[in-house]
Structures are given as C-alpha cells and as structure tokens.
Structure 1
Amino acid sequence: MLRFMPVGDSMTIGSAGEHTWRYRLWRHLCTAYGGPFTFVGPRETLHDPAADAPTSYAYADPDFPRAHLAGWGEGWHHMVPLIGEAVRTHRADVLLVSLGLIDLGFYTNAEQTADNVRAFVAEARAADPRVRAVLLPVIPNIRAEAEPAFAAQVTRFNDLLAKTVVDLDEPSSSLLLATPSPSYDIHTDTYDGTHPNASGEHKIAAAFAQALWRGWDLGGPYEAA
C-alpha cells in the first residue's frame, strides 16, 4: 500500500467545515490510481477558529483517511524537527508538502527558508532513505499583493525551491516540484486572500495530482470530484 503524508500549514490542515485539498486529492486518487493507498501522519484534526486550536473533526465529508502532518501557523521551520519521527513512525512513502508562506511571513528570509527545506529533506531521508516528496511552491497571498518586498521574498524562495529540488533529487529518493495552477486567483480561489475555498482546494489538489502523474506516472489527469 502506498502511503502519502500531507505536510503543510493552514492551507493544508484546513478549518472546521471544510473538505480540504487533502480530501479532494484522495477522491481523485480513488479513481485515477489503480493500487491501494492511504494518507498517514500523526494528526487528524482541522483547525477550530472558535477555539483557535487544532481540535475540530468537523470535516465537510469525514469519510476519508484524514491523517496528516499540518498545522495552522507552521512552516518548514516547525516541521524540520518533526518530519523524521513522522516518516519513521507512519512509514510514509511520499510526502506532499505545501510550506513556506508562514516562514517568509514571520520567521526566515528566502535563503534561510531554503536551508530549512534542505534540512527537512535530510531528516526525512535519515528516517527512510527511499522516501519521495512532491513540493509545492508558495502561492502568493493577499500580503504579497499589498507588499512588494514580501512578494519579492516569495518569488526568491520559489526560485530557490526549484533549484533545491534539482540539487537534492536522487534516483532512490525522488523529489518533484509541483506547478500551481496558473489560473489560481486569490480573489476567487480563497475566502480571505490566503486560505483556499472549494475551487482553491481543487486547484491545490490538482497541482499535486499533476506532479504525481507527470513525474512518476502515478494516477492520471486531475478531474474535480
């Protein structure tokens, strides 16, 4: 059984009442991938805005493997010390990673964030030398639209992320760079300029699905379900 681990920030954990892109990708893989698979990770909950804590199980559709390693306000900076144990314990085969916006917004510049990507990959491989990963570039948000300096950091990091994927890719532990949908629009695909609504969830899921299909011939073209 192929074991995927979604790793991310608030865009990945999602909020109470949402489907999440994790669910959208699961639905896609149920029809497009011929073999057995599941999602794994040490967490299952959504973020509860009322409690401002990851305590909600109120998925729009809870009937899917909800395990993940994602947290509201978490970035590469936070996941580096967690990923090794998570890979080891949950025997993840493929990491689906969407991180970076939090890092650039609050903790590290583009170069430091790229260093944390390298540390993250090293820790994951120390736990399993054959682990694979799909990395999604940072999707610019409303802050990037309002602050040119922040937008420049996002662009710089995404360039460094692409280079890092090329540098670290290995035949036995392949890395893929996902391509965000060119039609992704923070004004129509999010509910607040950052967090995806239903159409945004589909577009993020599609980015991972297209990378899996084109990079590893796993699954097929994404069709919203």
Structure 2
Amino acid sequence: MLRFMPVGDSQTIGSAGEHTWRYRLWQHLRATYGGPFALVGPRETLYDKATDAPTSHAYADPDFPRAHLAGWGEGWLHMAPLIGGAVREHRADVLLVALGLIDLGFYTDPAQTAENAHRFVIEARTANPRVRMVVLPVVPNALAESDPGFAERVALFNDLLAKKVADLDEPRSPLLLASPPRSYDIHTDTYDGTHPNASGEHRIAAAFADAMHQAWGLAEPYDG
C-alpha cells in the first residue's frame, strides 16, 4: 500500500462545495496506478467560508479518501513542526506539498521561507528516512500579478526552493520539484485569482502526477 499525504494551504484544503485537486489526483491514480494506495493525513475537512473555520465536509463528491494535512492560511512555517508527527502516525510514503504563498504574503521573507522548507524536509525524514516528497513551486496568483514586489519575492523563493530541493535530494529519500502547472492562468483556472476552480484543480493534480510519472515511473501521465 502506497500512502500519499497531500500537504498544503488554502489551495489544497479547498472550501465547501469543491472537489479539490486531491480528489482529481485520487481519480487519476485510481485509474492508472497498478497497486493499492491511499490518501492519508490527520485532517479530512474543507474550509467553511461561512464560519471561517475548517469544519466543512461538503465535498462536491465526498466518496473518496479525504485525508490530508492542509490548512487555510497555513504555510511552511506552520507545517514544519507538524509534519514529523503526521508522517509517523499515518505512515506516509509520499508527501505531495504545495506551500509558500501564505508564508510570503503574511509571515516570512523568501530566505526564511526556504529555511522552513528545509526544516520540513528534515522533520519528515526523521519520521520516515525513506519518505519521498514532491514539492510544487508557488503558482501564479492575483497578488503576484498586481504587486511587482510580491512577484519578485515569489520568484526568488521559487529559485531558492529549487536549490533546496537539489541540495537535499538523496537516493533513499527522493525530493522532487514539480514543474509549475501547465498553462496555468489565474483568469481561467481560479475563481478569485488564487484558489483553483475545476480546471485549476486538474492542472495542479497534473503537475504532481506528471512529476511522479516522469521521475519515478509511477502511474501514467495525467489526462484530465
């Protein structure tokens, strides 16, 4: 049983009424991965905008393994202290990580954010020395389009993240940087410039799926 743990911020947890990219990836793996697998993690809910809390179970299609480690407004800063316990408790084999936008917007500069990503990797490996990780760079978003300073911070962090991934990659615990989602357009792939709509969910799922297929031969290229 291969155990995948999605880790992320608001783009990963999703909000009430959505499918989420987690669901899209699960569908893809179910159709193309030849062995048993599961999505695992300590949380299952969506964010509820009405209550401003992660309390919703109102998935567009709730019939899938909804476990994850994602939170609205949470970033590398928040997940680094949590990841070791989550990996250990849920016996995660593969971490699918989409973090950084929240950090850069509210908490840390690019260098500090990259150091928290470093800490995250070390904590995950302490819990499972053979854990595999796929990391998504910060994807296009409305703030980066409207604020040149923020766009520069995102670009710098993505460069630092790529260097961290290259430096920390090792054979027994591969660390893989996914390519940005193909043709991702905030005007057509999000509903508010930041959070993915259905097409955005497919594109983010494809970024993870294609990275795993190209690097590790896992499942098939994404078609959806």
The TM-score normalised by the length of structure 1 is 0.99
| Matched ranges for 1:163-202 at <5 A | 163-202=163-202
Instruction: Tell me the CA shift for residue 223 of structure 1.
Output: 1.0
CA distance in 1, matches of 2:190, 2:102: 17
- Per the TM alignment, residue 190 of structure 1 is displaced from its structure 2 partner at its CA by 0.2
How far apart in 1 are the matches of 2:37 and 2:107? Answer: 35
* Structure 1 residue 180 displacement after superposition: 1.6
1:8 is aligned to 8
What does residue range 97-112 of structure 1 map to in structure 2 within 5 Å?
97-112=97-112
How far has the Cα of 1:181 moved from its partner? 2.4
For 1:36-185, list aligned pairs within 5 A. 36-185=36-185
CA-atom RMSD, angstroms?
0.5
CA distance in 1, matches of 2:71, 2:181: 23
Q: 1: distance between equivalents of 2:39 and 2:134?
A: 14
Q: Could you list the runs of 5+ residues in structure 1 that have no partner in the other structure?
A: none
**Aligned with 1:179: secondary structure?**
coil
One-letter amino acid of the counterpart of residue 71, structure 1: G
Deviations 1:151-199 (A, max 9, x none): 0000000011111111000000001111122310001100000000000
Q: CA deviation at 1:32?
A: 1.1
The secondary structure found in structure 2 opposite 1:121 is: helix
Q: How many Å separate the matches in 2 of 1:46 and 1:174?
A: 29
Who is 2:203 aligned against?
203
Identity of aligned residues (%): 75
Maintained 8 Å contact 1:180/1:203: no
Give the partner amino acid of 1:30. Answer: R
> How many residues are treated as equivalent by the alignment?
224
TM-score computed with the length of structure 2 as normaliser? 0.99
User: Residues 182 and 203 of structure 2 are in contact (CA less than 8 Å); yes or no, is this contact kept in structure 1?
Assistant: no
1:40–1:90 CA contact under 8 A, matched in 2: yes
Deviations 1:17-58 (A, max 9, x none): 000000000000011100000000000000000001000000
Please report how far the alpha carbon of residue 128 of structure 1 lies from its aligned counterpart in structure 2 after TM superposition.
0.8
